[in-house]
Amino acid sequence: MSTVLVTGAAGFIGSHTCDLLLAAGHAVVGVDNFRTGHRSNLAQAFVRPRFCLIEADVCAPGALDRIAVEARPDAIIHLAALVSVQESVQDPGLNFELNLRGTHLIAEAARLHGIARVVLASSAAVYGDAQTHPLTEQVETRPISPYGAAKLASEAILLGHAAAYGFTVRCQRYFNVYGPRQDPNSPYSGVISIFCDKLRAGMAPVIFGDGEQTRDFVYVQDVARANVLAATVPEIASGVANICSGCATTLNQLATELLNHFAGSPNPVHVAPKAADIRHSLGSTNVAAAAFGFTAEVQLAAGLAILAH
């Protein structure tokens, strides 16, 4: 059993990752500054004896050193970040600070404290608007936002450190993650949490454009399992992997599927397309399967059924 440091522990993906690590018997030291995370997300973790939470900002001077000395982790799962593409466009300086400098500090903590493995929350945003489907990890990365650029640079920083100082780094390129605890109350929220919120209130979901754009939706507990595998499977080489389902769903299909769970709800309303919206996004699942045995298990219909009840 390992001790795993999870940054961004109180976030959407972080809290599910903590729950799964604890269920597998690992000790978890969670770190969060509650900028976007919620203490309530950790309700299940708090009742576990092998969980502790440190309220701290990973970018604060000396914070990671103190935490690493105290926790002596075998691995870090680094999820603390500015999580919104739009917010990175509005405040690229904050994106640089949280997403790039934060990752550099994690890389340095791994080097200075001999931490054997780091798992990074990367993103399909590194591919930009690539026209290849499915997207393999070999596709040329061409980010089109400060967020995507910082995630790509974060991968490079960590992989460079890993090669130079002899630890292992796994970069997880998440596609469209959805599931319980995703916050619907921000203009940057994921489409599924927004649609569920609207339908629960008896309102029509709003589809940007014709609704024929596609996304590769992956359930958050699958993503958490991918993180646990990447952090704990023995004898793994450094690398990047898509974390996705390998299934493309149109927004129209998504809305139809969700409407089945909310009888009498109004039909979706179509409005003008969102500026710079990517038309199609679909990931190849092969690398994650080969590198650490990860395949998404929760089909979209099953995940939506859980969310709707």
For the bound state, the minimum distance from the C-beta of residue 163 to ligand UD2, rounded and expressed in Å, comes to 26
| 253 lines the binding site for ligand UD2 (CB under 6 A) | no
For the bound state, the minimum distance from the C-beta of residue 71 to ligand UD2, rounded and expressed in Å, comes to 28
What Å distances lie between residue 48 and 24, 28, 72, CA to CA? 12, 10, 19
| 277 lines the binding site for ligand UD2 (CB under 6 A) | yes
Q: What one-letter code names the amino acid at 204?
A: A
For the bound state, the minimum distance from the C-beta of residue 186 to ligand UD2, rounded and expressed in Å, comes to 10
Distance, C-alpha 288 to centroid of its chain: 15
| 176 lines the binding site for ligand UD2 (CB under 6 A) | yes
| 242 lines the binding site for ligand UD2 (CB under 6 A) | no
Q: What one-letter code names the amino acid at 134?
A: P
| 125 lines the binding site for ligand UD2 (CB under 6 A) | yes
| 274 lines the binding site for ligand UD2 (CB under 6 A) | yes
Backbone dihedral region for residue 290 (phi beyond 0: left; psi -120 to 50: alpha; all else: beta): alpha
In the set 127, 147, 174, 219, the catalytic residue is 147
Q: What is the DSSP track for 85-153?
A: HHHHHH-HHHHIIIIIIHHHHHHHHHHHHT--EEEEEEEGGGGTT---SSBPTTSPP---SHHHHHHHH
Cβ nearer to ligand UD2, comparing 68 with 255: 255
Cβ nearer to ligand UD2, comparing 113 with 188: 188
| 197 lines the binding site for ligand UD2 (CB under 6 A) | no
3-state SS class at 50:
coil
Please answer whether residues 9 and 25 qualify as being in contact, where contact means their C-beta atoms are separated by less than 8 angstroms. no
| 33 lines the binding site for ligand UD2 (CB under 6 A) | no
CA distance 69 to 67: 6
Cβ nearer to ligand UD2, comparing 141 with 168: 141
Cβ nearer to ligand UD2, comparing 110 with 258: 258
**Region binding ligand UD2 by CB under 6 A among candidate stretches 62-70, 187-195, 259-267, 283-291:** 187-195
Cβ nearer to ligand UD2, comparing 109 with 191: 191
CA distance 106 to 275: 34
DSSP state of 267: P
Given the DSSP bridges, would you call strands 249-250 and 214-215 parallel, antiparallel or unpaired?
Answer: antiparallel
| 168 lines the binding site for ligand UD2 (CB under 6 A) | no
Residues 6+ apart with CB under 8 A from 158: 103, 106, 107, 118, 120, 169, 171
What is the number of the residue whose Cβ is closest to ligand UD2? 190
Query: Of these, 54, 59, 89, 278, which contacts ligand UD2 (CB under 6 A)?
Result: 278
Q: What one-letter code names the amino acid at 247?
A: C
Number of residues that bind ligand UD2 (CB under 6 A): 19
CA distance 112 to 64: 10
Cβ nearer to ligand UD2, comparing 223 with 287: 223
Query: Of these, 181, 215, 225, 280, which contacts ligand UD2 (CB under 6 A)?
Result: 215
178 given a catalytic annotation: no
Cβ nearer to ligand UD2, comparing 15 with 176: 176
| 259 lines the binding site for ligand UD2 (CB under 6 A) | no
Chain contacts with ligand UD2 (rule: CB under 6 A): 85, 123-125, 176-177, 190-191, 194, 206-208, 213, 215, 251, 274, 277-278, 281
Q: Return the active site residues.
A: 147
